[in-house]
A and B are shown apart, each in its own frame.
Chain A
Amino acid sequence: MVNSLFPLTVRDAVSKRGGVPLIGPIQLDLKGAGITVVMGPNGSGKTTLLRLLHGAARLNHGSIRWACDQEQARDAQTFVFQRPIMLRRSILDNLIYPLRTRGVSKAKAQEQAEHWAERLGLGGFLSRQAPSLSGGEQQKLALARALITDPELVFLDEPCASLDARTMKAIERILIDTRANGTQIIMSTHDMGQARRLADEVVFLLNGKVHEHTPAHDFFASPQTPEANAFLNGDIVE
C-alpha cells in the first residue's frame, strides 16, 4: 500500500486542558516504521499524544503536519480506544457502520463484515448485540471495526489492557498481519513483553515530552537515557 500520510512532522505541539498543559512541547518526526510503540510511565501523556496526533485532542500550540492535507489525513486513519466504545447494535452492524458512512454499498459492506467477523472468531453470532459481548470480544470487534475500512494508519490506546493471554495473542496476530499489509500502527502499551514483540520503533515519553525516539532494537538493547534504562528495568521513573 502506498502511504500518503508520512512523514509526520510535529513541532512544539502543546495540548492543554483548562489552561494546564497535558503534554508538550512535543518534537517528533515519524516516517512510518511499521509499528510505533509509545511507552512511558503512567501520566507521561501517552493517551494524549495519540489523541493529539489523531486530532481528537485540542492542539493549543505548535503544529502537526501530515504529508497530505488535513482532511485527507483524518479520513485515512482510525482509532481504537482503551475502553472499547460499542455502538448499540449487533456485531454485524458495528462492522458495517464505518463502511456505510463511507458510502460502501450494503452488499459489499455485509460481505466484508462477515469476512472480518470470521477472522475474529465472532462469525457464529453476528446478530448478537455488541454491548453484551465480553471485554475481550469488544476489543477485538473494536479493532476489526477500525481496520475494516483499510486505513493507512491505526492508533491503538492500550489495546490489551486487562485482556487474557489468548485474546491478546489473537490481537497481536492481527496487528502483525495488518503491518504486513502496509498499514502503519501507532500504539501505546504498558506491557513490556508486547512492546518487545511488536515494536519497530519506540517513542519514550516522560512528563509530557518525547524523551527518546529510537528503533526498537536499539531502545531495548541500549537505551540512551538513564530514565529509559530505569523504566526498562522496572524501576519507578518520575
Chain B
Amino acid sequence: MGDFWSGLGQAAWLVLTFDSDLLAIAARSLQVSLTALLIASLLAMPLAAFLAVRRFRWRRNVIALMNALMGLPPVVVGLIVYILLSRSGPFGILGLLFTPSAMIIAQVIIIVPLIASIAHQSLRDLWQEYHDLLISMNVTQGQKIRTLLWDARRALLTAALAGFGRAIGEVGAIMIVGGNIDHATRVLTTAIALETGKGDFALALALGFVLIAITITVNFAVHWISRTESEGRW
C-alpha cells in the first residue's frame, strides 16, 4: 500500500512540476495513439457503413471475421509487424522499425476491427431505420454511406473512444515494434513496463495515474463537445 500512496504523490509531483520527460512521453503517447485513431477511423468507419448497406456474398463472413479480430492479441500483431518492418523483412527498405510510425501501424491494426465492429452495430441499426427512405429517394451507395456516417456520428464517437482507449493503453505490440527507445519511442505504457521491471513501483504507478488521467480527460472532452453540439440542436 505504501507504493500506492508514494505513487500518487510522485504522480502529483511530476505533473505539478511539468516534468519535461513526463510531458514528452505523455505527448508522444497522445500523438501516436491519436494518429492511429485517426487513420483507423478513416478505414474502419466507411468499412462498417459499407458492410451495413451493401449485401454481398461474403458479407456475413467478413462481419464475423471483423468481430473475431477484435480479440487479436496485440503481442502477436506486434510480432508480425516487427517481422514485416525489420530490415530483413519485406518492408525493411522503409526503415520504419523502432519509429513512432511503426507503433502507429501496429495500433491501427489492433483497433481497426474494434472500431469497425462497434461502429457497424450502430450503423446497422440506423440503416434498418433509414432503409426504406433512402431506397425510395434513390440515392447512390456513396450517399447512403455518408448519410449513415453523419447521422450516427455520436455513436461513432463512442466507437472511436473505445479504439483510443485500447490504443493508448496498449503495451505488448508497441514495445516490440517501437523498442521503447528513450526520447524516440518511449510512451507511457512502455515506460510503466520499464519502471515495473526496475522494481520502481512508485514511478510506474505515477506514470499509470498520468495515463489514466489522460484517458479520462480525452473521454470527458469528447463527451463535452458532443453534448454542447446536441444541446444546440435538440
Which of A's residues lie within 8 Å of B, judged by CB?
54, 56, 74-75, 78-79, 81, 85, 87-90, 97-98, 101, 127-129, 132
B196 at the interface (CB under 8 A from A): no
Chain B residues in 8 Å Cβ range of A132: 234
Chain B residues in 8 Å Cβ range of A78: 136-137
Assembly CA distance A48 to B126 (angstroms) = 23
Which chain A residue lies CB-closest to B154?
Answer: A88
Q: Main SS of the interface on chain A?
A: mixed
Assembly CA distance A90 to B150 (angstroms) = 13
Assembly CA distance A128 to B231 (angstroms) = 11
Contact between B137 and A101 (Cβ–Cβ < 8 Å)? yes
Contact between B138 and A85 (Cβ–Cβ < 8 Å)? no
Contact between B129 and A85 (Cβ–Cβ < 8 Å)? yes
Which chain B residue lies CB-closest to A79?
Answer: B136
* Distance in Å: Cβ of A213 to nearest Cβ of chain B: 24
B184 at the interface (CB under 8 A from A): no
Which chain B residue lies CB-closest to A132?
Answer: B234
What are 7 contact pairs spanning A and B, CB under 8 A? A56-B132, A78-B136, A79-B132, A89-B151, A90-B233, A101-B137, A128-B234
Assembly CA distance A128 to B233 (angstroms) = 6
Complex A-B, nearest 3 residue pairs according to Cβ-Cβ distance, in ascending order: A79-B136, A85-B133, A88-B151
Chain A residues in 8 Å Cβ range of B129: 85
A98-B137 contact in complex given A85-B130, A85-B132, A88-B151, C-beta closer than 8 Å: yes
Which of B's residues lie within 8 Å of A, judged by CB?
126, 129-130, 132-133, 135-140, 143, 147, 151-152, 233-234
Interface centre among B126, B133, B135, B151 (most CB of A within 10 A): B133
Assembly CA distance A87 to B143 (angstroms) = 13
Contact between A56 and B135 (Cβ–Cβ < 8 Å)? yes
Assembly CA distance A129 to B234 (angstroms) = 6
* Distance in Å: Cβ of A61 to nearest Cβ of chain B: 21
* Distance in Å: Cβ of B214 to nearest Cβ of chain A: 31
Chain A residues in 8 Å Cβ range of B233: 90, 127, 129
Chain A residues in 8 Å Cβ range of B147: 87, 97
Assembly CA distance A101 to B126 (angstroms) = 19
Contact between A75 and B138 (Cβ–Cβ < 8 Å)? yes
Assembly CA distance A89 to B234 (angstroms) = 9
Q: Give which listed residue, B130, B143, B234, contacts A101 with CB less than 8 A.
A: B143
Chain A residues in 8 Å Cβ range of B138: 74-75
* Distance in Å: Cβ of B137 to nearest Cβ of chain A: 6
Assembly CA distance A129 to B143 (angstroms) = 21
Assembly CA distance A87 to B137 (angstroms) = 12
* Distance in Å: Cβ of B229 to nearest Cβ of chain A: 12
Chain B residues in 8 Å Cβ range of A74: 138
Chain B residues in 8 Å Cβ range of A88: 126, 151-152
Assembly CA distance A56 to B143 (angstroms) = 18
* Distance in Å: Cβ of B130 to nearest Cβ of chain A: 7
Which chain B residue lies CB-closest to A81?
Answer: B132
* Distance in Å: Cβ of B215 to nearest Cβ of chain A: 29
Chain A residues in 8 Å Cβ range of B140: 101
Chain B residues in 8 Å Cβ range of A128: 234
Assembly CA distance A98 to B143 (angstroms) = 11
Q: Give which listed residue, B132, B133, B135, B136, contacts A87 with CB less than 8 A.
A: B133
Assembly CA distance A206 to B126 (angstroms) = 35
* Distance in Å: Cβ of B127 to nearest Cβ of chain A: 12
Which chain A residue lies CB-closest to B138?
Answer: A74
Assembly CA distance A101 to B145 (angstroms) = 12
* Distance in Å: Cβ of A143 to nearest Cβ of chain B: 13
Contact between A87 and B234 (Cβ–Cβ < 8 Å)? no
Chain A residues in 8 Å Cβ range of B130: 85, 87
Assembly CA distance A96 to B215 (angstroms) = 38
Assembly CA distance A127 to B147 (angstroms) = 18
Assembly CA distance A56 to B147 (angstroms) = 19
Which chain A residue lies CB-closest to B136?
Answer: A79
Which chain B residue lies CB-closest to A88?
Answer: B151
Chain B residues in 8 Å Cβ range of A85: 129-130, 132-133
Assembly CA distance A98 to B139 (angstroms) = 9
Interface centre among B129, B130, B233 (most CB of A within 10 A): B233
